[in-house]
Amino acid sequence: MTDNTTHFGYQQVPTADKVKLVRGVFDSVAGRYDLMNDLMSLGVHRLWKRIAISLSLVRSGEHVLDLAGGTGDLTALFEQRVGDSGKVVLADINAEMLKKGRNRMIDKGLAGNVHYAQVNAECLPFADNSFDCVCIGFGLRNVTDKAAALRSMHRVLKPGGRLIVLEFSKPTDQLTEAVYDFYSFNILPKIGKLVANDEASYRYLAESIRMHPDQSTLKQMMQEAGFERCDYFNMTQGIVAVHRGYKI
């Protein structure tokens, strides 16, 4: 990889093109995103998200930024925690995903303390020390410059604030890795073709997971961005991990 290229799944593409390519993937899958999440994970993604919320330590009255918030699963859970005196910003770089999330929150009656922003995680348009918690769920692997994004998240957190990164990661044993690889590259794209009429986007999603930093590498990246007391929690034999770091 050079300074002028980056990975899009297993492909090398011009760095300037990645945002557009990722946008195309999520424009394509937005309409069936929630259904596909349930099918792909057999519903386990809901448990992963609840565990991430618990690890966030978010309390009543706090301000939360839900980055790559998509259709709002995490936002709805955060909203229950912060209550009427708190605030949750549902943010996504993709307008179509953000629209789906906004409509879902309105349908749930969560209009009062949920706000919306179309943002790029690498250069967040919020003031320093704005949030008690920043969460990015299943989105960091799609960011072009992850180090810049982590620095931006650190900047907008208040002292004492927490970063939560919920993301696919590296299985902790060879058997799980072998089964997961077979499923990801042989079954998942076929489900995408059948349900969402889009095999290529789900093949990209499988590839993007493999290109994402493993648990220890991501922990080190968080530390380099200024986070302290960093740790991670494996779930489902490391297929998914929650990383947590603090701004001191």
Which of 12-26, 168-182, 193-207 holds the top average pLDDT?
168-182
3-state SS class at 226: coil
Token representation of residue 149: 């994004």
How many CB atoms are located within 10 Å of the residue 237 CB? 14
Pairing verdict, β 87-92 and 11-14: unpaired
Q: Please state, in angstroms and rounded to a whole number, the distance separating the CA atoms of residues 22 and 211.
A: 14
Q: Do residues 246 and 162 make contact, with C-beta atoms less than 8 angstroms apart? A: yes
Q: Please state, in angstroms and rounded to a whole number, the distance separating the CA atoms of residues 175 and 177.
A: 5
68 annotated among ligand-binding-site residues: no
Residue type, 54: S
pLDDT at residue 156 greater than cutoff 90:
yes
Domain boundaries, the chain: 25-172+204-246
- Residue position matching structure tokens 């929630």: 34
pLDDT at residue 1 greater than cutoff 80:
no
3-state SS class at 48: helix
Token representation of residue 6: 């980056």
Q: Please state, in angstroms and rounded to a whole number, the distance separating the CA atoms of residues 40 and 163.
A: 26
Q: Which of 172, 165, 138, 162 is nearest to 52 (CA)?
A: 165
Give me the half-sphere count of Cα atoms (radius 13 Å) on the Cβ side of residue 104. 20
- Close Cβ partners of 226 (under 8 Å, ≥ 6 residues apart): 151, 154, 247
- Mean pLDDT in residue range 188-207: 84
pTM of the model: 0.90
- In the structure, what pLDDT confidence band is assigned to residue 33 with cuts at 50, 70 and 90? low
198 annotated among ligand-binding-site residues: no
2 annotated among ligand-binding-site residues: no
pLDDT at residue 3 greater than cutoff 70:
no
225 annotated among ligand-binding-site residues: no
pLDDT single digits (tens) 216-225? 999 999 999 9
pLDDT at residue 21 greater than cutoff 80:
no
pLDDT of residue 39: 74
- 7 vs 3, which has greater pLDDT? 7
- In the structure, what pLDDT confidence band is assigned to residue 29 with cuts at 50, 70 and 90? low
- Residue position matching structure tokens 């969402």: 196
Output phi, psi for 39, to 5 deg.
-70, -45
Q: Please state, in angstroms and rounded to a whole number, the distance separating the CA atoms of residues 59 and 47.
A: 20
- 68 vs 22, which has greater pLDDT? 68
CATH of segment(s) 25-172+204-246: 3.40.50.150
3-state SS class at 243: strand
pLDDT of residue 206: 87
Q: Which of 44, 75, 55 is nearest to 229 (CA)?
A: 55
